[in-house]
Amino acid sequence: MLKIFGTVASLVWFALCAAPPTVLAQERYIASYAGFAGFQAPLWAAKDFGLLAKYGVSTDLVMIPGSARGTQALLGGSTHFGQIDGTALITAIHQGADLVFIAASLNKFPFSLVAQKNIRKPADLAGKKVGIVSFGGAHEVSLILALREWNLPRQSVTLIASGPAANRLIALSSGALDATLLAPPETGEAARLGFPTLAHMTDLKAASFPMNVIATRRSFLETNRDVVKRFLQAYSEGTHQFMTQKEKSLALYNQRMKQKNPAVVDETYQYFASTFSFPPRVAPDGMRIALDMIAQRSPEMKLDMNINKYVDERLLDEVEKEGLFKRLGGKGVAMPPALPADYS
């Protein structure tokens, strides 16, 4: 744990040192994202489209790979906001961590299971090595749910924590992995390398999941409500602009993903522009699935199943009442319902 915290602190310190002097003179905040896949776009858009500046929240972004590390950064105070998946957060909050979900821009698994050519159906995975980013996150959860739906025992495959998508693609190409979970743009790259897609996690019966969650510390939320509200305004507008303004969003992807293949960038945009949630609310069915999954996997935790223990959307409610979502509108934009006050 100390090693992880030291790595996180180094990443955050680098982001601070890289900021221009005019930014350093202001009240500044740090927000983390978990990698370079296309589903990180809402936070990138809030920053790069100038919306965090528009709403007066001077924010630096730092990449912290994996939900466990992102959660630890929030807990340690190295970051103020984190865009991470909900799995590690739920466990940490249940165990007493001073953390809370305040928004979610992606409420389903964005992954596809890509495999070697000799693996033609889910049953062929038995005895095979499957690469995931790390244990304890959305990769592991989605794969366990998929194995259950395919009537394959969890022990029938070997899960290997293999790091970022680029590493997993190399391992797949070398034969070190038999299959791995990827999201756009890497799914397109895998197809061009000749690896077939075995399954899309979005096709699972239990596909809903709090994938892109914005989290913060409850103590920070209570003492900095105006800052958090303005952050949510910027994040909401960034999500909407990404979904509805294609050309500037393609430029965002070119810059952030360092991806120069126009076809790959366009495929990635088309996928996520129709998949993100606006307003960026936590979907109740996804939370229920996540809670059920964690409770079944770790029954000794005696997990609290009340969603309100984990989610606080009161500031998002204020943003909606003040008319931001209505003003932005957006034809074809998916709008998950607000959580009922007594939902459990």
How many percent of the chain have pLDDT more than 90? 65
Rounded to the nearest integer, the mean pLDDT of the chain is 87
- The pLDDT score that the predictor gives to residue 67 is 82
Question: Binning pLDDT at 50, 70 and 90, where does residue 301 land?
Answer: confident
Most confident region among 62-71, 144-153, 231-240 by mean pLDDT: 231-240
Report the CATH number of the 2-109+209-328 domain. 3.40.190.10
Ranking 106-120, 201-215, 244-258 by mean pLDDT, the lowest is: 201-215
Rounded distance between C-alpha atoms, residue 320 and residue 328, angstroms = 11
For 120-131, give the DSSP string. -SGGGGTT-EEE
Estimate to the nearest angstrom the gap between the alpha carbon of 30 and the chain centroid: 17
Provide the residue type at 125 as one letter.
Answer: L
75: left (phi over 0), alpha (psi -120 to 50) or beta: alpha
Chain segment 240-288, per-residue pLDDT in tens: 999 999 999 999 999 998 777 898 899 999 999 999 999 999 999 999 9
Tell me: pLDDT of 235 over 50. Answer: yes
pTM tops 0.75, yes or no: yes
How much of the chain, in percent, has pLDDT values that exceed 70?
88
Q: Does domain 112-203 have CATH number 3.30.365.10?
A: no
Q: Of 19, 61, 109, 24, which is closest to residue 231 (Cα–Cα)?
A: 61
CA 196 remoteness from chain centre: 24
Q: Return phi, psi of residue 318, to 5°.
A: -65, -45
CA triple 300-302-304, angle to 5 deg: 155
* 308 burial type by CB count under 10 A (0-12 exposed, 13-18 middle, 19+ buried): middle
Average pLDDT over residues 193-216: 90
124-165 pLDDT, tens digit each: 999 999 999 888 778 888 898 899 999 999 999 999 999 888
User: Which pLDDT score is estimated for 296?
Assistant: 82
Of the two residues 233 and 141, the one the predictor is more confident about is 233
Q: What integer is the mean pLDDT of 225-239? A: 98
Q: What is the mean pLDDT of residues 320-341?
A: 67
* Residue extents of the structural domains in the chain: 2-109+209-328, 112-203
Query: Is the model more confident about 67 or about 156?
Result: 156
Provide the pLDDT for residue 26: 60
Question: In the predicted model, what is the mean pLDDT of residues 214-222?
Answer: 98
Least Cα distance to 280 among 101, 111, 141 occurs for: 101
